[in-house]
Amino acid sequence: MLFSSFHFCLWGLFFFPTGVVEVSVRSPMACWFSAMLYCFGGSVLSSLMLGEPPVAFLAKTINILLASSVWYLVFYCPEDMFYRCFSLMPLRLLVAGMKEVTRTWKITDGIAHANTVYKDAWLVMVAVGWARGAGGGLISNFEQLVRGVWKPETNELLQMSYPVKVTLIGAVLFTLQRRQYLPIAKHNLMFLYTIFLVVFKVKMMLTRDATSPLAPFEAALSQMFFGSQKTPSKVKGEGVTSSNGSSVCDQPSEQHHEGAKKKQAKKTE
Amino acid sequence: MLFSSFHFCLWGLFFFPTGVVEVSVRSPMACWFSAMLYCFGGSVLSSLMLGEPPVAFLAKTINILLASSVWYLVFYCPEDMFYRCFSLMPLRLLVAGMKEVTRTWKITDGIAHANTVYKDAWLVMVAVGWARGAGGGLISNFEQLVRGVWKPETNELLQMSYPVKVTLIGAVLFTLQRRQYLPIAKHNLMFLYTIFLVVFKVKMMLTRDATSPLAPFEAALSQMFFGSQKTPSKVKGEGVTSSNGSSVCDQPSEQHHEGAKKKQAKKTE
Amino acid sequence: MLFSSFHFCLWGLFFFPTGVVEVSVRSPMACWFSAMLYCFGGSVLSSLMLGEPPVAFLAKTINILLASSVWYLVFYCPEDMFYRCFSLMPLRLLVAGMKEVTRTWKITDGIAHANTVYKDAWLVMVAVGWARGAGGGLISNFEQLVRGVWKPETNELLQMSYPVKVTLIGAVLFTLQRRQYLPIAKHNLMFLYTIFLVVFKVKMMLTRDATSPLAPFEAALSQMFFGSQKTPSKVKGEGVTSSNGSSVCDQPSEQHHEGAKKKQAKKTE
C-alpha cells in the first residue's frame, strides 16, 4: 500500500500540468497543496461523496511524508538530478505500469467501501469507485484553482480524458462483477483489467500516440444512443451546402439542429 | 414520492437554461450530470449542509432511472417528439402545478430532517428547508460549471429569483409553524402555501408576466430595514444635479453615498 | 465565548474587503451571507474538513443574532454612527487585541477537536487548527463568490497574508506542545503566543506598517529549503546581462531556470 502510494505520487508529479514550475518558485505551499490534491484527490473526493472527513488522507502520516519527499525532490533537488533520473524511458515505463496497478486497487477499494455505506446501491458503487480511481482528474478544476489557474470552459466531464474514461469503465465492470452479473471471478477480472491498462499505457507511451483505444466503441455507442454526428467534417459540411449527394444523411442533422434551436428559443423565454 | 420525483425532473429539464442543447451534443455525460444536479440539487445541498453523504440521491436507483429516462427523451428523442408533446400549454400547466406541490413537500421534509439532527435550532431548520426546496437554484453556479459555463458575477443570493424567494418564505413559515409560533395546523399551512404557489405559477405562465407578486412587500421591507433607494432613477438623478426641488430627498442619499465611499476608503487601507 | 464571538464579528466586519458596501445596497442577503462566512468561516471550513455538518454554527442562535446585529449596525445604521464610533483608534485597538485573543482559543479548540476525531494524527491537527483559526481567509475565494467577485489568480495559499501565516505557525506550535515535543505548559504557550499576536497587531496598526515580522525568517527558510531567488532584483538582473561580476551567483539561477523550462517542456508533451 505504502509502495503503491509512492509510485502514484511519483507518477502524478511527473505528469503535472504546465505552469506548476512557476508556482513552485512563487509559492511552495500552493505547489505542495496542489501536488497533494493531485496525488490524493481520489481519496478526498470519495470521502466528500460519502460524507466522511476529507482530511482522512492526512492521517496516514507516512504516506504524506513519502509523497512530500518526492514532491520536494522533483521540484527543488539541486541540478534537477531526481527529475532527470526518472525521465529515462525504462524508469518511466516501470513507474507508469505500477501506477496502473494501483488504479485497479483504488477502484475496487472504493467500490467495497461504498458497499459498506449503501448496501447494494450500484450507482453509488460506480460513482465512488470512479471518484477514487480518477479523483485527481475529476477535481482538476479545483486543483488548478489552488495554483491560481481557472479554466471553467473545460472539465473532465465535458472532455473526458482517456484515464478518466477507462476508470469509469473499470468502475462499471467491478460493480457488475460484485453484483454477480459478470460470470468471472474478482481476481481474474482485476488481472485482465490491469493487463489491459498497462498494455495500452505502455503502448501509448512508446508510440507517443494519444488516440484512445476506446475511440471506435465510443463513436459507435454515441451514434447509437445519442444520434450524434460529432465529426468536425459534418460541421464543415453544413457550411458548404453545395454538395449534391449528401442530402440523405444531412437532412436529419439539419433537422436536429433546427430542433435544437427551437428548443433553445423556447427555453430561453 | 416516485411520482413527484418524475414531475420534478420533467419540470427541471423543461426549464433548463440556455446552452444546454449544445452541451447535450458535445458531451452527454456532462449534460446528464448537470441535469441530475438540477433535479436533485436540493437533496445534494441539504446533505452537504448536514454532513451527510451527498451521493445519497444515487441510492434511490428507481428515481435516477426515471429522471435519466426523461432526460434521454427530452434531449435525444427522434424528431423531438417528447419535447413537443410536453410543450403544449395544458400539459405544461399540469406539470408545473405538480412541481409546486412537490416543493412544499421538499421544504417540510428538509425542516423535519434538520430537526432530527439539531433539536430546535430554528436557523438550521430554515436553512435546510430552503436548501432542499430551492437547491437547484442555489447551486446554479456549480451546475453551470459542469457545463463549462462560469458566471461569477451573478448568483441566487445576489439576485434572488422568484422561486428561490418564495421557497425561503415557505421555509420560514413552516419553521415558525413547527416551533408553534403560528396559530395554524401544519396541513392547513401546507394547503394554503401550495395553493399560493400553484396560483401564482399558473398566473405567471398564462400571462407570461415575470413580475413577482412579492415585489411590493420586498420594496417596503427593503425601504424600512435597509433604507435602500434601489431605484435606477435615483442613480440617474445623481448625474443630473440641476433639479431644484429634489434637494430634500437627495441629501440623505448623497450623504449615505459619501459615507459609503469613506467607509470603503478606510477599509481598503 | 459569546463575548469573543461578538468581537470577532465586529473585527471581521471592520476589515471587510472593498466592494462590500455596494453589495450591501444591492443585495442585503448576499452581504449578510458573506459577512457570516467571514466571521464563521473557520468553523465552516473545519467542520467540512472533519465531515461534520457545516451548518453547525447556525445552531448557536445567540451568536448569529449578535453577529447579525453588528452587521446590521455597521452597514445600515443611520448616519453611519456605529461605524464612526468604532473607527476611533483606541476602540479599534481594543477590538483588535480581543480578536487576537480569540484566535488563540480558536486554534487550540480546533486542535483539541481534531484530536478527538483522529487520535494522534498530527497533520490533521495542524490542518484543522489552522482552518479554525484562519478560516475566513482560507475560503476568501468562495466568500468573494457570494458577492459576485471572482479572483482565481490569487488565493491565500499562493500569497499568504500575515494573519494566515501566523495562524499556521500557531497551529504547528500548539500541535507540537500537545504531542509533548515542546518543553512548555499549554497555558504558558497560549499566553506567550497571544502576547506575540497582540503586540505585533497593535504595532502594525499604530505604525501603519504592513511588513510582516516574519519576513526575515521566511526569506531565510525559503533560501535554505527551496533555494529560491524570489527577489525581483534578480529577475531584473536577468534582463541586464551586461554586469561582469555577477556570473558566479547568476549561473545556478540561470541553470535552474533552464531546468525549469526543460521540465516544463517535457511535462507538456
List, in order, residues 6 or more apart from A248 with CB less than 8 Å away. Answer: none
Beta strands, E only, chain B: none
pLDDT of residue B114: 94
pLDDT, mean of residues A33-59: 91
Do residues C267 and A16 lie in contact, with contact meaning Cβ atoms separated by under 8 Å? yes
- Chain B CB contacts of A231 below 8 Å: none
- Chain C CB contacts of A83 below 8 Å: 259, 263
List, in order, residues 6 or more apart from B220 with CB less than 8 Å away. Answer: none
Rounded Cα gap, residues A96 and A92, in angstroms: 6
Q: For C53, which residue in chain A has the nearest alpha carbon?
A: A51
Rounded Cα gap, residues C241 and C254, in angstroms: 11
**Per-residue H/E/C for chain B:** CHHHHHHHHHHHHHCCCCCHHHHHHHCHHHHHHHHHHHHHHHHHHHHHHCCCCCCHHHHCHHHHHHHHHHHHHHHHCHHHHHHHHHCCHHHHHHHHHHHHHHHHHHHHHHHHHHHHHCCCCHHHHHHHHHHHHHHHHHCHHHHHHHCCCCCCCCCCCCCCCHHHHHHHHHHHHHHHHHCCCCCCCHHHHHHHHHHHHHHHHHHHHHHCCCCCCCHHHHHHHHHHHHCCCCCHHHHHHHHHCCCCCCHHHHHHHHHHHHHHHHHHHHHHC
Q: Do C152 and A150 touch (CB under 8 A)?
A: yes
Per-residue exposure over C118-148, b if at least 16 CB sit within 10 Å of its own CB, e if not: beebbbbbbbbbbbbbbbbbbbbbebbbbbb
Rounded Cα gap, residues A168 and A107, in angstroms: 9
Of A210 and A241, more confident: A210
Q: Do C157 and A30 touch (CB under 8 A)?
A: yes
Exposure of B137 by Cβ count < 10 A (0-12 exposed, 13-18 middle, 19+ buried)? buried
Taking the alpha carbons at both ends of chain B, their separation in whole angstroms is 55
What's the gap in Å between the CA of A207 and the closest CA on chain C? Answer: 13
pLDDT of residue A83: 77
Rounded Cα gap, residues B106 and B39, in angstroms: 12
- Chain B CB contacts of C30 below 8 Å: 155, 157-158
**DSSP result, C142-157:** HHHHHTT---TT--TT
Residue C241 clears pLDDT 90, i.e. is over it: no
Residue for grid cell 485497479: A104
Low-confidence residues of chain B, pLDDT below 70?
1-18, 228-269
Is this complex scored with an ipTM above 0.85? no
Residue C238 clears pLDDT 50, i.e. is over it: no
Q: Which of A44-48, A92-96, C47-51, C242-246 has the lowest mean pLDDT?
A: C242-246
- φ, ψ of residue B87 in degrees (nearest 5): -85, -10
What's the gap in Å between the CA of C32 and the closest CA on chain B? Answer: 10
Of A192 and A243, more confident: A192
The model's confidence at residue C231, banded by pLDDT at 50, 70 and 90, is very low
- φ, ψ of residue C155 in degrees (nearest 5): -155, 175
Residue A262 contacts B, CB cutoff 8 Å: yes
- For A189-195, which contacts have Cβ atoms below 8 Å and span 24 or more sequence positions? A190/A104, A190/A108, A193/A104, A194/A100, A194/A101, A194/A104
Maximum mean pLDDT: which of A178-182, A255-259, C7-11: A178-182
Rounded Cα gap, residues A89 and A95, in angstroms: 10
> Which among C200, C209, C141, C142 is positioned nearest to C166, based on CA atoms?
C200
The model's confidence at residue C168, banded by pLDDT at 50, 70 and 90, is very high
SS3 state at C159: coil
Residue C35 contacts B, CB cutoff 8 Å: no
Q: Do B260 and C21 touch (CB under 8 A)?
A: yes
The model's confidence at residue A6, banded by pLDDT at 50, 70 and 90, is low
CA dihedral C168, C172, C174, C178 (to 10 degrees): 150
Chain C interface, best mutation among A14, A45, A58, by max C CB count within 10 A: A58
- φ, ψ of residue C50 in degrees (nearest 5): -100, 10
Residue C59 clears pLDDT 80, i.e. is over it: yes
Residue A123 clears pLDDT 90, i.e. is over it: yes
pLDDT of residue A10: 61
Q: How many residues does chain B have?
A: 269
Q: What is the largest CA-CA distance in chain B?
A: 68
C-alpha cell at C176: 507540537
Q: Do B155 and C148 touch (CB under 8 A)?
A: yes
Rounded Cα gap, residues B190 and B196, in angstroms: 10
Task: Work out the mean pLDDT of chain A and round it to a whole number.
Answer: 78
Do residues A69 and A6 lie in contact, with contact meaning Cβ atoms separated by under 8 Å? no
Other Cβ atoms closer than 10 A to A62: 10
Per-residue exposure over B145-158, b if at least 16 CB sit within 10 Å of its own CB, e if not: bbbbbbebeebbbb
Do residues C8 and C40 lie in contact, with contact meaning Cβ atoms separated by under 8 Å? no
Do residues B171 and B187 lie in contact, with contact meaning Cβ atoms separated by under 8 Å? no
Return the ∠ at Cα B86 (arms to B83 and B87), rounded to 5°.
80
Rounded Cα gap, residues B13 and A267, in angstroms: 10
Exposure of A167 by Cβ count < 10 A (0-12 exposed, 13-18 middle, 19+ buried)? buried
pLDDT of residue C228: 54
Beta strands, E only, chain C: none
- Chain C CB contacts of A13 below 8 Å: none
Rounded Cα gap, residues B196 and B175, in angstroms: 18
> Partners for B (CB, 8 Å, 3+ pairs)?
A, C
Residue B228 contacts C, CB cutoff 8 Å: yes
Return left, alpha or beta for A244; rule: phi > 0 is left, psi -120 to 50 is alpha, else beta: alpha
Do residues C82 and C73 lie in contact, with contact meaning Cβ atoms separated by under 8 Å? yes
- Chain C CB contacts of B51 below 8 Å: 47, 51-54
> Which among A120, A214, A222 is positioned nearest to A176, based on CA atoms?
A120
For the stretch C184-213, pLDDT in tens is 999 999 999 999 999 988 888 888 777 788
Rounded Cα gap, residues C269 and A127, in angstroms: 30
pLDDT of residue C10: 61
Q: Do C55 and B128 touch (CB under 8 A)?
A: yes
In percent, how much of chain C has pLDDT > 90? 27
Residue C107 clears pLDDT 60, i.e. is over it: yes
Task: Work out the mean pLDDT of chain C and round it to a whole number.
Answer: 78
> Which among B185, B187, B162, B42 is positioned nearest to B114, based on CA atoms?
B42
List, in order, residues 6 or more apart from C119 with CB less than 8 Å away. Answer: none
For the stretch A223-237, pLDDT in tens is 888 875 443 333 333
- Chain A CB contacts of C226 below 8 Å: 24-25, 28, 76
Residue A40 contacts C, CB cutoff 8 Å: no
Fill in the DSSP letter of residue A88: S
pLDDT of residue A15: 59
Residue B259 contacts C, CB cutoff 8 Å: yes
Q: Which of A233-242, B76-85, C55-64, C224-233 has the lowest mean pLDDT?
A: A233-242
Rounded Cα gap, residues C136 and C140, in angstroms: 6
**DSSP result, B63-100:** HHHHHHHHHHHHHHSGGGHHHHHHTSHHHHHHHHHHHH
